[in-house]
Structure 1
Amino acid sequence: MKIKAIDLYAIHLPLHVPFVISYHSYQYMPSVIVKIETDEGIVGYGESVADEHVTGETWEGIFHTLKNTLGPAVIGQNPMEMEKLHEIMNRTIYGAPTAKAAIDIACFDIMGKKLGQPVYQLIGGRYHDKFPITHVLSIAEPEQMAEEAAAMMAKGYDSFKMKVGTDIKKDVKRIEAVRKRIGNNPAIRVDVNQGWKNSAATLTAIRSLRDLEIDWLEQPVLADDIDGMAFIRSKTDIPLMIDEGLKGIREMREIIQKNAADKVNIKLMKCGGIYPAVKLAHQAEMVGIECQVGSMVESSVGSAAGFHVAFSKKIITSVELTGPLKFSKDVGNLHYDVPFIQLTEQPGLGIDINDEHLQEMTVFQDAIR
């Protein structure tokens, strides 16, 4: 089997409400959908959702990288030879993990359809039956965040990820307001998205968080400051999660060597797709670091790929893949049984693409033959 053609769709995914984090406010999510067709007529879909603040890639740049660099390099290759495909992509261009992820995901979709198996059966088999879904609270005024959390609790959610990372005193008020509103039992995970910058500011914030029953604190310092994470970890008993600071194998090795985290957030867009994500999970398991699979707020395509990785690994104990719930229109039909996600046994990614929605959201497109 050979890759015969690649179609690229640069799209805007419409959000129900703006998504606000420490370094950006999104009115919609820019994404690139990749459709790969083989000489046997099997079609697979992948996705790239750029975050220039994390990997240095942009929406437009990813499209052109796929069109002019990665796409031509994989035409004619066997989509089932994943190790070889990644070696070809890595030789062709340094970095560019988000662009590579789209090709990786589409090829896994093809592989599953060829073999008649869900992707999770190709990477270790199903381990988890279901995952609880954590509701993500965008940055807003304290009372507004508390109101949203209470409304989501009424819908069955029992865990919340709070986006903070502005002024420390205001951030503490946000967390206090949510905890007061929802009570002591629901889980609160605090994601700073690098917003507190350094270890000194983070330790100042932590002094005010000790009595708020925080599940974990995610990426309070700048991404490359793994030493800072290690220092903070030595000074607190609040579990620390690294997100932006973990991209690939090299960072994972440094995190392990420096005892810099209790948990890590694996994202397919940061590491290059399903195959590299599995390698990171194996690295973490060797030293007992629990993993989460997160996302850049992706459509059903990227979210389904992340779920397949999460469901196949014991060391992955939580997920944050709620993009499809945030969109007023999606390209696929990934199904959530809120507050849980339960994957089907359909082959490949297990989702159907709505071609009408895909065309409606497409800003520009191209093809490689």
Structure 2
Amino acid sequence: MKIKKLDIYAIRLPLTTPFIVSYHSYDDMPSIIVKLTTDEGIVGYGEAVADDHVTGESWESTYALLKHSLAPAVLGMNPMHMERLHDKMDATVYQAPAAKAAIDIACYDAVGKKLGVPVYNLLGGRFHERFPITHVLSIGEPEGMAQEAIERMEQGYTSFKMKVGRDVTSDVARIRAVRQAVGKDVAIRVDVNQGWINAASTLQALEQMKDLGIDWLEQPVKADDIDGMVEIKAKSSTPLMIDEGLKYKREMREIIQRSAAHKANIKLMKCGGIYPAMKLAHMAEMAGIDCQVGSMVESSVGSAAGFHVAFAKKIISSVELTGPLKFSKDIGNLRYDVPFISLNDQAGLGVDVDETILQELTVEQTTVEGE
């Protein structure tokens, strides 16, 4: 089996409401879809959701990189040879994890379909039966975030991830308002997306909200401030999760060596796809670091890929792949039973892609084909 053709689609996924984090507000979600076709006619889909602030890639650069460099590099290769594929991509382009993730995911989808098994069976088999889904609250006014949390509880959600990162005073007010609205028994996770900058302001915030029962605090300091993470972890009893500060094996080694976090947020778009994500999970497991598979607000394709990783590994105890729930129109049919996700047992990713909707959402497309 060989990779014969890659169709690359630059699309924009429409959001039902704007998605607001500390560094940006999204009215829609730019994404790249890769449709991989083998010489046997098997089709696999992959996705790249780049983020200038997280992966160091833009939507435009990812499309160009796939078109001109990565897609031509993997033509003719066997999609089953994952170590060799990643070695080829790494030799072709330095870093660019979201672009590589698109090809990685498409290969897993195609291989699963070829063998007639779900992707999680290619990763050691299924461990988890289902995961609870956490609703993500975009940054807003305290009253609005509290009201949204109440409405989501009525829909069955039992946990929330709050996006904050504007300033300590207003952020603590947001967290306090949501806690008062949902009660003491509902899980609240706080994601700062680097917005509190340093350890000093973070420790100040933690002191002000020590009575709010936060499940964990995620990436309060700048991505490369491992010193800050170490200080916060040493001076606070609140569990600390690293996100933007973890991309590849090098960062995971330092996190383990320096005991810089209690939890690690693994994202396929940050590390280069399913194959490297599994490597990170294995490293974390050896060190006793709990893991989450996080979201870059992917469509059904990228979200399903993350779920397959999560369902296969015991050390992964939470997921945050809620992109498809935020779109008014999606290219795939990943199914949620709110507040849970239960994967099907279809071959590959288990997602059917609607080519009509894919074309409707496409802004630009190209085909890279071998002889």
- Measured against the shorter chain, the TM-score band is over 0.9
TM-score (normalised: structure 1): 1.00
Superposition deviation, residue 295 in structure 1: 1.4
1:219-263 deviation digits (Å, cap 9, x = unpaired): 000000011101100000000000000001000000001100000
Provide the rounded CA distance (Å) in 1 between the counterparts of 2:356 and 2:192: 37
Matches within 5 A, 1:96-115: 96-115=96-115
1:306 aligns with 2:276: no
The equivalent of 2:266 in structure 1 is 266
Provide the rounded CA distance (Å) in 2 between the counterparts of 1:153 and 1:55: 32
1:119 aligns with 2:116: no
Superposition deviation, residue 209 in structure 1: 1.3
Matches within 5 A, 1:60-75: 60-75=60-75
Superposition deviation, residue 304 in structure 1: 0.1
The equivalent of 1:183 in structure 2 is 183
1:249-284 deviation digits (Å, cap 9, x = unpaired): 000000001100000000000000000000000000
1:253 aligns with 2:253: yes
Gaps of 5+ in 2: none
Provide the rounded CA distance (Å) in 2 between the counterparts of 1:159 and 1:208: 22
Superposition deviation, residue 181 in structure 1: 0.4
Percentage of pairs with the same residue: 69
1:326 aligns with 2:326: yes
SS of alignment partner, residue 215 of structure 2: strand
Provide the rounded CA distance (Å) in 2 between the counterparts of 1:209 and 1:360: 46
The equivalent of 2:198 in structure 1 is 198
Provide the rounded CA distance (Å) in 2 between the counterparts of 1:167 and 1:194: 11
Provide the rounded CA distance (Å) in 2 between the counterparts of 1:111 and 1:295: 24
Superposition deviation, residue 65 in structure 1: 0.3
The equivalent of 1:349 in structure 2 is 349
Provide the rounded CA distance (Å) in 2 between the counterparts of 1:54 and 1:90: 19
Gaps of 5+ in 1: none
1:96-134 deviation digits (Å, cap 9, x = unpaired): 000000000000000100000000000010000000000
Which structure 1 residue ranges, 4+ long, deviate > 3 Å from structure 2? none
What is the one-letter code of the residue matched to 2:240? L
The equivalent of 1:135 in structure 2 is 135
Matches within 5 A, 1:13-162: 13-162=13-162
SS of alignment partner, residue 358 of structure 2: helix
SS of alignment partner, residue 330 of structure 1: coil
1:77-104 deviation digits (Å, cap 9, x = unpaired): 0001000000000001110000000000
SS of alignment partner, residue 247 of structure 1: coil
Provide the rounded CA distance (Å) in 1 between the counterparts of 2:363 and 2:45: 18
The equivalent of 1:220 in structure 2 is 220
Superposition deviation, residue 47 in structure 1: 0.1
The equivalent of 2:289 in structure 1 is 289
Q: Number of matched residues?
A: 369
Superposition deviation, residue 336 in structure 1: 0.1
Provide the rounded CA distance (Å) in 1 between the counterparts of 2:167 and 2:289: 30
Superposition deviation, residue 56 in structure 1: 0.9
What is the one-letter code of the residue matched to 2:367? A
Provide the rounded CA distance (Å) in 1 between the counterparts of 2:367 and 2:335: 29
SS of alignment partner, residue 214 of structure 1: coil
Superposition deviation, residue 71 in structure 1: 0.4
Provide the rounded CA distance (Å) in 1 between the counterparts of 2:166 and 2:268: 27
Provide the rounded CA distance (Å) in 1 between the counterparts of 2:56 and 2:283: 24
SS of alignment partner, residue 36 of structure 1: strand
1:29-80 deviation digits (Å, cap 9, x = unpaired): 0000000000000000000001110111000000000000000000000001
Provide the rounded CA distance (Å) in 2 between the counterparts of 1:297 and 1:40: 32
Provide the rounded CA distance (Å) in 2 between the counterparts of 1:220 and 1:93: 30
Provide the rounded CA distance (Å) in 2 between the counterparts of 1:209 and 1:87: 46
SS of alignment partner, residue 255 of structure 1: helix
Superposition deviation, residue 358 in structure 1: 0.4
1:241 aligns with 2:245: no
Superposition deviation, residue 167 in structure 1: 1.4
Provide the rounded CA distance (Å) in 1 between the counterparts of 2:126 and 2:240: 27
Provide the rounded CA distance (Å) in 1 between the counterparts of 2:17 and 2:193: 20
SS of alignment partner, residue 127 of structure 1: coil
What is the one-letter code of the residue matched to 1:99? A
